[in-house]
Structure 1
Amino acid sequence: MRFKTSIRNIQTFSTSLSTLGKVAWVRLDDDSVRFTIIPETGTQVWASLSIESIFEDYTIQSAAPNNTINLELPLPPLHRALKSAINATSASIRLTKKDGVPVLSLTIITNTVSSGNSAGGFLNPANADPFGDNVFREESLDANMGREREAIVTQDIPIRVLTADSVEGIHEPRVREPDAHIVLPSLIQLKAISDRFTKLAMATSYGGARGGASSTASVPKLELAANMHGSLKLSISTDSLNISSVWSGLNNPELDPRQLDGENPENHPSAKLKAAGQDAWSTVRIDGRDWGKVLSVGRLGGRVIACFADEHALILYVYLSNFNDGVDDSVLTYYISSFSV
């Protein structure tokens, strides 16, 4: 079993493996990289990335069909390692063993500038001529100039290599057909407003979170709604606060005929919501802090389509640009369950 590659896009790799959970299941094969994060509570992440979008010089080999390798990967140590690699000249990762334990070994190469050795230079009083003669010490040109040095750091991340049978039952959540689908505005802007709403609601509800004792269950929930006429609404409500923000002129993408399975498009829930007019909304309620973490994917850019199953779930499809034309888009899929009223 072999796996070795250079990381082409550290930012995409790090952000894709978001901090929504502590452990990820990673599937590597000849064609793609897939990872899944299923925390006990909160947002699930299902991602399928083209190899070219994050890796280069990709080598994989196993006895399984399509050279598949399944790994259980702890995310906190990986994030720490990748954070140190953001400004690296290059970074590579390989599957190996250390003391009999399987690890992903991340090797980072950086160029650092070291100051030249000026000891003994003309500013050093120890080199002053004791006799007052105009005698000068000759030096090489780069004696006092910074030198660029290459630093190599290797970090080992303990993992588990999983059998194919143990991951066979993992599948994406089954969600009913959405009532609304809409292209979201800038996630950076949406995150800024969402975080502000959540902080205001927590401050008014808990008096500035006195004593820091507010349980996850009691954190105010954001209400997110969309219609099929290009509008998105974000709001939050407590006993002492009721605020909202509305975006209009957004795009409701057409349904993919392949998703309809021969069904009449007019019978689709989104078509019925559209026919109901601009005042008909599909609504979900989500944890503001969890939502803020999801929106961090906005750093990657790309188009994001939100699908609303009213009072049930919100599904985000984040499409990332690939380096090679003709290759299927890499997609990050986020499943967020709606809280009841």
Structure 2
Amino acid sequence: MKFRAVMIDAGPMREFSNVVTIISKLSKECVLRLTDDHLYFIVSEENSGPTPPILWCEIPQAMFCSEYQMLGLDEEHKDIYLAFSSGNLARSLVTLKTAKSLKMKLTKKQCPCLTLEIEMPSTTSQQTRQVTHDIPVTVIPRKLWTDYHEPRIPDPDISIELPSLKQLRTTIDRMRTMTSEVVIRASAEGRLTLQIKTDMAKVSTRFKGLRVEAFGGPIDHSDSETETQMNEDMSRVCYCRVDAKKLSMFLSADQIATNRTVCSIVHRKLVILCLTTDENVKLQCFIGGIVY
């Protein structure tokens, strides 16, 4: 197996570093899948064995890399799957914001490594200096590849475009000081509501006039926990109760120059957050619903 990629453009390098930083906040470990066309970062629930990913990120290599070469096991099995510490990679990429180039390659040292060679400008002369990081990786055997396929999810009941991620994260972080769970409600009329309820207080924040990408209603609320709002047709509203910390971690992606972010809800069961950028990076986060 062989892999070598080079990045020389400042914008894509900065975005690549930001994406890896987001991933490192969601999980200590991740898997990098290398294909001819894309780099995929995959995160599963920690300490839970083989499970569907909670995060799926795809990066088109042509938009980021000036050079890209890879060779898999054979013609039939061309991909490469590497498991490693996401924190190690994120820390190694911190200097990309001022770097001139990044070279990544798969090497064999005391163990298999993802080697990063970062060319940095010198502060004292016209010359450059090279910083090298060796990140130990585990090559995932072919028999386990199916554990890292893109998740199959049911058709969502509603998909709605989100407002500013920074504004949402500020709201969620304030709610997290009072409770660990938040209810996300979305209506076919373009309203998104974040709700929490404690013994001491009931708080909700509503965003209006949002674009609805799809609605598969009507929604059955025969066992609903939510309260009906005045003059609101509940058959056109769905919700899901989720972990506020996981939601906040995804919203820290506000540091990425997003094109748009869409929230899709499978009523009471699942929230899918999908962020896309101008460089065609697609970052999906799957947060399971909390049901009592």
TM over 0.5: yes
CA distance in 1, matches of 2:13, 2:172: 27
Spell out the pairing of 1:54-203 with structure 2 (5 A cutoff).
Answer: 54-65=64-75, 67-99=78-110, 101-114=111-124, 147-199=125-177, 201=178
Q: Which amino acid aligns with 1:102?
A: P
Q: Select 2:218's aligned residue among 229, 253, 272.
A: 272
Aligned partner of 1:282 among 238, 242, 262: 238
Selected match of 1:11 from 4, 10, 14: 14
Using the size of structure 1 for normalisation, the TM-score is: 0.72
SS in 1 for 2:66: strand
- For 1:178 and 1:63, the matched residues in 2 are separated by 37
Structure 2: distance between partners of 1:10 and 1:195: 29
Unaligned ranges ≥5, structure 2: 221-230
Alpha-carbon distance in 2 for matches of 1:331, 1:282? 25
After TM superposition, where is structure 1 displaced by more than 4 Å over at least 4 residues in a row?
none
Checking the alignment, whether the CA contact within 8 Å between 1:308 and 1:314 is kept in structure 2 is: yes
State the alpha-carbon separation in 1 of the partners of residues 78 and 148 from structure 2. 19
Matched letter for residue 13 of structure 1: F
Deviates more, 1:312-321 or 1:4-13: 4-13
Residue segments in structure 1 that go unaligned for 5+ positions in a row: 115-146, 202-218, 255-268, 323-328
Structure 2 distance, partners of 1:236, 1:54, is 40
- For the Cα contact (< 8 Å) 2:196–2:203, is it kept in 1? yes
Q: Give the SS at the match of 2:96.
A: coil
State whether structure 2 residue 46 is matched by structure 1 residue 40: yes
- Counterpart code for 2:283: L
Cα deviation for residue 278 of structure 1 reads: 4.3
SS, match of residue 253 in structure 1: strand
Aligned length: 269
Corresponding residue for residue 238 of structure 1: 198
SS of 1:226's partner is strand
Q: Any idea what the Cα deviations from partners look like across 1:54-96, whole Å, max 9, x if unmatched?
A: 3221111233337321111221110110113322121111111
Bigger mean CA deviation after superposition, 11-20 or 240-249? 11-20
Contact kept, 8 Å, 1:227 with 1:278, in 2: the verdict is no
1:294 corresponds to which of 250, 254, 266: 250
- In 1, the alpha carbon distance for the partners of 2:192 and 2:74 equals 46
Distance in 1 between the 2:268 and 2:139 partners? 38
- Is 1:337 the counterpart of 2:284? The answer is no
Contact preservation (8 Å) 2:276, 2:283:
yes
| 1:104 CA drift (Å) | 0.7
TM-score (norm 2): 0.84
Q: Per-residue deviation at 1:37?
A: 0.3
1:273 to partner: Cα distance: 4.2
Q: Give CA-to-partner distance per residue, 1:150-201, whole Å, 9 cap, x none.
A: 22110100001222222124334444322211011111111111112212x1
Deviation at 1:294, TM superposition (A): 0.5
User: Partner of 2:216: helix, strand, or coil?
Assistant: helix
Q: What is the percent sequence identity of the aligned residues?
A: 26
Two-structure CA RMSD over aligned residues (Å): 2.4
CA distance in 2 between counterparts of 1:272 and 1:290 reads: 28
The alpha-carbon distance between structure 1 residues 178 and 39, as it changes in their structure 2 partners (threshold 3 A), is same
Give the greater-gyration-radius structure (CA): 1
